[in-house]
Amino acid sequence: MLSREQNELVTRTSKGTPGGEMLRRYWQPVALSSELSEDTPLPVDVMGEELVLFRDAKGQPQLIGRACPHRAVDLSYGRVENGGLRCIYHGWLLSGEGRCMEQPGEPDGSAFKTKIRHTAYPACDLGGLIFAYMGEGEAPRLPNFPFMNKPIEHTFVIKVLQECNYLQANEGNIDPQHLSYLHRFLSQAEAVESELNKLISNDPAPQIEVEETAYGLRLFAARANRPGKRFVRITNFIMPNASSFHGSPLVDPRKGAVNDNVGYQVHWHVPVDDYSHWKYTLAYRSDGPVDAEFQRNSQFAEIGADFRSPRTRQNRYMQNREEMKQTSFVGLGRSFQSHDKLATEAQGAILDRSVEHLGTTDRAVIMMRRQLLKAIEDMQAGRDPMFVERDGQPDALNEMVVLSQEVAADTDLLGGWWRGFDPASRGTLAIAE
């Protein structure tokens, strides 16, 4: 539970708000790389700011304010020319650094253009996403996710619009217990991943442990498995709006088994405004190509070319009561994405956290909110918030492990097993019938 004031702090993201300025101290995905061609600018809305992306002469993404600094025409209708973006109204040419390079209507020799300082943010392509830094001061180091240095075939990326505040979706990622209800299939044949479905159905009350890390939180969720065994899933919250976990299988289970411990999924929830956000999803496999076709056609089959789900509040998410009797707990088809969209949007546009009753399964949610509030406090005091990394500082993501593994039932999750854990020892998956 948060006070109304604290809730405002962590949910408001426009420029100048404490929460929004804190989010801006981190590199954020602002588009899929595939959305931005060489010759067509792309309008993007990020945290209430109207911006436009374009590619410069070298093909590098550039992110600038969408309203032309002359008389505010939308620059996404402009022409990509001479390494910049030219407004279609009077031909001003803007660079990716926010400089005005040409003002064709002004007299020769005029210095007027040198006075123009247009909004501009650093941006780059990494792993199929365009990341941007929209904060004050010098941009920190980019987070060092392993997928950022691998061939692009090792990742699959997509985004989905969710019509609610970013934070409630962020919270859903670090809430391991909801798997046993929201994502449970009543018929094993319906489950995309039947092994996981057996596990979450067998034990709907996992033991949940959480520890703080330099990048955020590490969660352990242990469920009963075969006699004398438990199955542990380790997932992570990554400051301030990302998470990593085992999502849908990395290759189609019908084409062959791949140990999911060679990869994982990352979600970022990036506000469009305070009432909607893009959920960027990236699936990464370290030892070979991800089965992109399988990813697209299993979890994202319903998502249109506009990255929107046909299931909305207006059509009550097409919830099917017959399906709820026969095949799935929530009656929304096979995609976890649809289930999560309903659950988080149905909390309201901005969840009022002053009326909640948080239980033992909400420990990570409580700790995450504390970390966000502390990050805001640090930023306001002139300090770098946690996981804003500068050159020379250790790389916190080296400590990040995503794991699904069977352990002895009496394993002390935060004790000897984890303290002595060697990431190279990650075993294969084994779940009881």
15 binds, among ligand FES, Fe ion, none (CB under 5 to 8 A by kind): none
Residue type for position 170 = N
Euclidean distance between CA atoms 416 and 423, whole angstroms: 14
CA-to-CA dists, residue 235 to 45, 51, 56, 90, 364, angstroms: 29, 33, 38, 52, 11
**What b-and-e string marks burial along 191-228, b requiring 16 or more CB atoms within 10 Å of the CB?**
bbbebbbbbbbbbeebebbbeebbbbbbbbbbbbbeee
- Choices 41-49, 66-74, 177-185, 357-365 (CB under 6 A): range interacting with ligand FES: 66-74
Q: Which is nearer to ligand FES, 88 or 366 (CB)?
A: 88
What is the nearest approach in angstroms of Fe ion to the Cβ of residue 10?
20
Q: Is 89 in the site for ligand FES (CB under 6 A)?
A: yes
Choice from 92, 237, 245, 317 touching ligand FES (CB under 6 A): 92
Helices 363-380 and 4-11: crossing angle in degrees, nearest 10, is 80
Contact present, 62 and 54 (Cβ < 8 Å): yes
- Choices 32-40, 54-62, 89-97, 172-180 (CB under 6 A): range interacting with ligand FES: 89-97
Contact present, 338 and 311 (Cβ < 8 Å): yes
340 binds, among ligand FES, Fe ion, none (CB under 5 to 8 A by kind): Fe ion
Where is 380: in which H helix or E strand?
helix 363-380
192 binds, among Fe ion, ligand FES, none (CB under 5 to 8 A by kind): none
Which SS3 state, helix, strand or coil, does residue 86 take?
A: strand
Contact present, 427 and 406 (Cβ < 8 Å): yes
How many residues bind ligand FES (CB under 6 A)? The answer is: 9
Q: Around Cβ 116, how many Cβ atoms within 10 Å?
A: 15
What distance lies between CA 378 and its chain's CA centroid?
23
Do β-strands 276-285 and 403-408 pair in parallel, antiparallel, or remain unpaired?
A: unpaired
Choice from 42, 63, 87, 182 touching ligand FES (CB under 6 A): 87
What is the nearest approach in angstroms of ligand FES to the Cβ of residue 103?
8
Q: Which is nearer to Fe ion, 31 or 182 (CB)?
A: 182
Euclidean distance between CA atoms 50 and 66, whole angstroms: 6
Euclidean distance between CA atoms 163 and 350, whole angstroms: 10
Q: Is 67 in the site for ligand FES (CB under 6 A)?
A: no
Q: Which is nearer to ligand FES, 92 or 317 (CB)?
A: 92
- Choices 5-13, 86-94, 228-236, 318-326 (CB under 6 A): range interacting with ligand FES: 86-94
Map residues 330-369 to x or -, x wherever contact with Fe ion holds by CB under 5 A. Answer: ----------x-----------------------------
Contact present, 179 and 192 (Cβ < 8 Å): no
308 binds, among Fe ion, ligand FES, none (CB under 5 to 8 A by kind): none
- Choices 50-58, 83-91, 202-210, 247-255 (CB under 6 A): range interacting with ligand FES: 83-91
92 binds, among Fe ion, ligand FES, none (CB under 5 to 8 A by kind): ligand FES
What is the nearest approach in angstroms of Fe ion to the Cβ of residue 238?
17
Euclidean distance between CA atoms 217 and 183, whole angstroms: 23
Contact present, 268 and 28 (Cβ < 8 Å): yes
Enter the tokens of residue 131.
């990341």
Choice from 70, 79, 308, 363 touching ligand FES (CB under 6 A): 70
What is the nearest approach in angstroms of ligand FES to the Cβ of residue 109?
19
Q: Which is nearer to Fe ion, 313 or 383 (CB)?
A: 313
89 binds, among Fe ion, ligand FES, none (CB under 5 to 8 A by kind): ligand FES
What is the nearest approach in angstroms of Fe ion to the Cβ of residue 414?
24
What is the nearest approach in angstroms of ligand FES to the Cβ of residue 269?
33
Q: Which residues bind Fe ion (CB under 5 A)?
A: 340
Q: Which residues bind ligand FES (CB under 6 A)?
A: 68, 70-71, 73, 87, 89-92
